[in-house]
Amino acid sequence: MLKPHHREAHHSLIYQPLHEQLAAAGIRLQVRHKRVKNINFRLKPNLLAVSAPSKLSSQKVAAAITQRLEWVLTQHPKIVAAHHSRDQYQRSETVRLWGKEQSITMEEAQRLEWYRQELSQVMPSLFAKWQPIVGQWASEQRIKKMSTRWGSCNVKARRVWLSVYLPAFPIDCTEYVIVHELCHLHHANHSPDFWQAVAKVMPDYRYWHDMLAGKATASQRPANID
């Protein structure tokens, strides 16, 4: 049996090629063996955090990460861009509500509370609008301060979370995030079938997706978007 320090060195050798590949893209790899049933991946700006079952060999974990590499390298620039866009709104002294500048100033805590109230008011009607169109219903809709996502969906619990920062953007962006998360109740991943489901109910989703990612502005709004 390998001694603890030998095991650590053994793990390092197995993961070293992955560390190098990800580091070239500006991503740090963090692998932790824990008391979990499945391998869990969490991609954040400049970090891929992997939690793996304690009894699973490093070789199998490395193989699973390798299978995800293309997805990680494709999605990471999008996550970084969205995080940068969100940070710009957080640092800005200009207060925006539903995409329009307001002639007021607020501390961050005040702004978040204001956004939370505004989002709470519109969520019931927006979910009521889109759930029949998507053909899926969320059992719960909640608001959360999220640093790397605009929304999330617990498919098993059918629980949808929305970012408290969404009211800084046009309300169409919130509608897109709702559609996006509800479509995960059809397809839990981001497969072509998933994006086809999103496009079917919201053909102009790409514009609002890009706005949240900092790739589009109101001045670039296509003429065919009402």
- Where do the structural domains in the chain lie, given as residue ranges? 4-87, 108-220
Contact by Cβ (8 Å): 32, 50: yes
State both tokens at 197. Answer: 């489901």
pLDDT score recorded for residue 222: 42
Q: Calculate the alpha carbon distances from 27 to 69, 73, 115, 150 in Å.
A: 11, 9, 32, 21
Instruction: Please state whether beta strands 47-53 and 28-34 pair in parallel, antiparallel, or not at all (unpaired).
Output: parallel
pLDDT score recorded for residue 174: 97
Q: Identify which of 178, 117, 189 has the alpha carbon closest to the alpha carbon of residue 150.
A: 178
pLDDT score recorded for residue 2: 40
- Find the largest Cα–Cα distance for the chain: 68
The rounded radius of gyration (Å) of the Cα atoms in the chain is 20
Q: How far apart are the first and last CA of the chain?
A: 67
CA quadruple 154, 19, 68, 151: dihedral positive or negative? positive
**pTM across the whole model:** 0.62
State both tokens at 50. Answer: 């992997």
State whether CATH 3.30.2010.10 applies to domain 108-220.
yes
Give the amino acid at 77: P
Q: Identify which of 95, 75, 82 has the alpha carbon closest to the alpha carbon of residue 176.
A: 82
Q: Identify which of 201, 139, 143, 155 has the alpha carbon closest to the alpha carbon of residue 176.
A: 201
pLDDT score recorded for residue 223: 37
pLDDT in tens, the chain (226 residues): 444 444 444 456 788 888 888 898 899 999 988 888 888 888 888 899 999 898 888 899 999 999 989 988 888 888 877 766 665 555 555 688 998 888 777 778 888 999 999 999 999 999 999 999 999 999 999 999 987 789 999 999 999 999 999 999 999 999 999 999 999 999 998 899 999 999 999 999 999 999 998 876 554 454 333 3
Give the amino acid at 211: M
pLDDT score recorded for residue 84: 65
pLDDT score recorded for residue 87: 59
Where are the alpha helices (H) located in 24-170, listed in sequence order? 58-91, 108-134
